[in-house]
Structure 1
Amino acid sequence: MTATLQEQIVRQIRLNRISTTEIADCMDKTGLYAQARPLNRSHFRAGPVFWVYAYNESNWELHEQLRAVPEGSIVIVDAKDCRERAIFGSLVTKYLMLYRRCEAIVTNGLMRDVPHLLKENWPIWCAGATPIGCFNRKNERPVDPAWEAERRAAFDGALAVCDDSGVVVIPKAMQNEAFLDKLAFIEEQEDIWFFCLDTLKWDTYRTVCMKDYLGDEKLARLLNYAKEHGE
Structure 2
Amino acid sequence: MKRNIIDFIKRNRVSTTEISDCLEKSGAILNTNSVNKGHFAVGNLFYVHACNGTNWDVHEQIQNIQDNDIVFIDIIDNEDKAVFGDLVSKYLLLYKQAGAIVTNGLLRDAPRLIKENWKIWCKGFCPVGYSNENIQKNKYQLKQIQLRKNFYDNAIAVCDDTGVVVIPKEFHNKEFLEKIKYIEEQEDIWFECIDRKKYSTFETVCLKKYLKE
Q: Does the aligned pair in 1 maintain the 2:76–2:145 contact within 8 Å? A: no
Query: What CA distance in whole angstroms lies between the structure 1 residues aligned with 2:57 and 2:199?
Result: 56
- Is 1:205 the counterpart of 2:202? The answer is yes
Query: What CA distance in whole angstroms lies between the structure 2 residues aligned with 1:78 and 1:130?
Result: 17
Query: What CA distance in whole angstroms lies between the structure 1 residues aligned with 2:112 and 2:20?
Result: 32
Deviation string 1:71-123 (CA, Å, 9 cap, x unpaired) is 11000001122411101000000000011100000000000000000000000
Q: Which residue of 2 aligns with 1:68?
A: 64
Q: Which residue of 2 aligns with 1:156?
A: 153
Q: Does the aligned pair in 1 maintain the 2:33–2:163 contact within 8 Å? A: yes
1:22 to 14, 18, 21: 18
What stretches of structure 1 of length at least 5 have no aligned partner? Answer: 217-231
Q: Which residue of 2 aligns with 1:10?
A: 6
The higher-RCO structure (CA 8 Å, 6+ apart) is 2
- Is 1:32 the counterpart of 2:28? The answer is yes
Q: Which residue of 2 aligns with 1:137?
A: 133
116-125 vs 74-83, greater mean Cα deviation: 74-83
TM-score scaled by length of structure 2: 0.97
TM-score scaled by length of structure 1: 0.90
- Is 1:94 the counterpart of 2:93? The answer is no
- Is 1:171 the counterpart of 2:130? The answer is no
Deviation of 1:215 (Å): 1.9
Query: What CA distance in whole angstroms lies between the structure 1 residues aligned with 2:4 and 2:76?
Result: 33
Query: What CA distance in whole angstroms lies between the structure 2 residues aligned with 1:208 and 1:160?
Result: 27
SS in 2 for 1:18: coil
1:120 to 112, 116, 119: 116
1:189 to 163, 186, 190: 186
Question: Are the structure 2 counterparts of residues 24 and 118 from structure 1 closer, same or farther at C-alpha, using a change threshold of 3 Å?
Answer: same
Q: Does the aligned pair in 2 maintain the 1:35–1:108 contact within 8 Å? A: yes
How many percent of aligned residue pairs carry the same amino acid?
47
In terms of Rg, which structure is larger? Answer: 1
Q: Which residue of 2 aligns with 1:84?
A: 80
What is the Cα-based RMSD across aligned positions, in Å?
Answer: 1.0
Give the 4+ runs in structure 1 shifted more than 6 A.
none
- Is 1:41 the counterpart of 2:37? The answer is yes
